[in-house]
């Protein structure tokens, strides 16, 4: 079973470099590989050597604005195996639009959305054609696909050579894909509030850029060392209002039945799973609000809490701790609405629930 993220990059990779007049030079490359069965039987040392060769791009310069200053952005998206043997990607149009906005926000020429979608679909297809994709397993249905496997796609930008302070005018865009399983492991769904700041008004918090993840990663690792699964960030100005988790948006189901998530401002990433769950909740007849919510209101008035993102899907939080106070939600168990939303979202993604919103694109 695939567990979380993996560096087992699939053989087909995609690169495109920005040329003059908005044109992009696109290349699909087949990296060294054996059949999936042969790779599974290799020794650990042999497999590591083979996978390292697939994680090597000689055409990309080491010293550039991305490696030196974090001037890069990326996306995360998944292709899900279906019971009929096909694969479908969840909302690639949304990823394409966000990626273009991120590149433009960093001063780069934006990658055309139609090229993004076409490249993603073709990359998954090429790898699936040589056996590199998970097969649908009916056993996943027993726990609402919580442990279902999928193909993770990581598109990212990469700057041309540069060592001075500057922005990228001729970047590469690279797509790689890997197998991926459950992101959050069962048994710990505790979160704590951090005093560190993820994003400031007027900054890059709304961009899915490399540098935005430094503070969240450091804080999440500190939280994990202290027995928590997740860390929660508050706003920089008042240090009062909830903004995000370490790599995910956050929702609170209040005792009055309203589902609240922080309003999108320039300090919060516009999550695609976030957007989708708001739609699903409204379709279920749940009242939703996108607004500021203080950590005090969240801890005292919530009966359910969950985080969302491409990697996590929907992960419930059993509790939130701030300083010496802990708020426990639904007796530490996944709530009724959280479970219903998870079941519906995963059902759509794996083809067991009607895709009435047209979110899934066939490979």
The pLDDT tens digits of the residues spanning 107-159 come to 999 999 999 999 999 999 999 999 999 999 999 999 889 889 999 999 999 99
The pLDDT tens digits of the residues spanning 345-361 come to 999 999 999 999 999 99
CATH 3.30.470.10 is the classification of domain 12-180: yes
The pLDDT tens digits of the residues spanning 277-311 come to 999 999 999 999 999 999 999 999 999 999 999 98
What does R_g of the chain's alpha carbons equal in angstroms?
A: 21
Superfamily of domain covering 190-349: D-amino Acid Aminotransferase, subunit A, domain 2 (3.20.10.10)
pLDDT higher than threshold 70 for residue 185:
no
* Confidence at 241, pLDDT banded by 50, 70, 90: very high
pLDDT higher than threshold 80 for residue 236:
yes
pLDDT value of residue 342: 95
Q: How far apart are CA 172 and CA 310, in angstroms?
A: 23
Q: Are 242 and 293 in contact (CB under 8 A)?
A: yes
Query: What are the boundaries of each domain within the chain?
Result: 12-180, 190-349
């Amino acid at each position: 079973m695939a567990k979380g993220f993996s560096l087992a990059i699939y053989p087909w990779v995609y690169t495109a470099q920005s040329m003059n007049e908005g044109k992009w030079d696109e290349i699909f490359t087949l990296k060294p590989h054996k059949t999936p069965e042969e790779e599974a039987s290799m020794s650990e040392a042999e497999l590591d050597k083979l996978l390292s060769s697939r994680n090597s791009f000689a055409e990309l310069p080491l010293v550039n604005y991305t490696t030196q200053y974090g001037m890069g952005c990326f996306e995360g998206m998944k292709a899900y195996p279906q019971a009929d043997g096909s694969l479908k990607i969840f909302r690639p149009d949304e990823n394409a639009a966000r990626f273009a906005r991120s590149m433009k926000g960093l001063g780069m020429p934006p990658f055309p959305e139609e090229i993004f979608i076409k490249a993603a679909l073709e990359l998954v297809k090429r790898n699936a054609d040589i056996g590199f994709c998970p097969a649908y397993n009916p056993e996943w249905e027993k726990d609402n696909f919580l442990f279902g496997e999928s193909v993770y796609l990581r598109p990212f930008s990469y700057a041309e050579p540069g060592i001075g302070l500057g922005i990228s005018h001729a970047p590469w865009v690279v797509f790689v894909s890997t197998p991926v399983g459950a992101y959050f492991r069962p048994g710990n769904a505790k979160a704590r509030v951090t005093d560190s700041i993820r994003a400031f008004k007027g900054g890059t918090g709304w961009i899915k850029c490399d540098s935005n993840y430094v503070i969240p990663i450091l804080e999440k690792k500190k939280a994990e060392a202290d027995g928590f699964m997740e860390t929660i960030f508050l706003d920089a100005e008042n240090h009062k209002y909830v903004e995000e988790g370490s790599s995910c948006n956050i929702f609170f189901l209040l005792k009055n039945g309203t589902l609240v998530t922080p309003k999108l401002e320039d300090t919060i990433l516009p999550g695609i799973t976030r957007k989708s769950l708001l739609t699903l909740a409204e379709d279920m007849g749940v009242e939703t609000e996108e607004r500021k919510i203080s950590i005090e209101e969240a801890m005292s008035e919530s009966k359910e809490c969950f985080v969302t993102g491409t990697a996590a899907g929907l992960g419930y939080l059993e509790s939130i701790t701030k300083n010496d106070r802990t708020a426990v939600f639904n007796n530490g168990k996944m709530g009724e609405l959280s479970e219903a939303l998870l079941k519906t979202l995963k059902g759509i993604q794996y083809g067991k629930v009607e895709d009435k919103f047209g979110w899934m694109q066939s490979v």
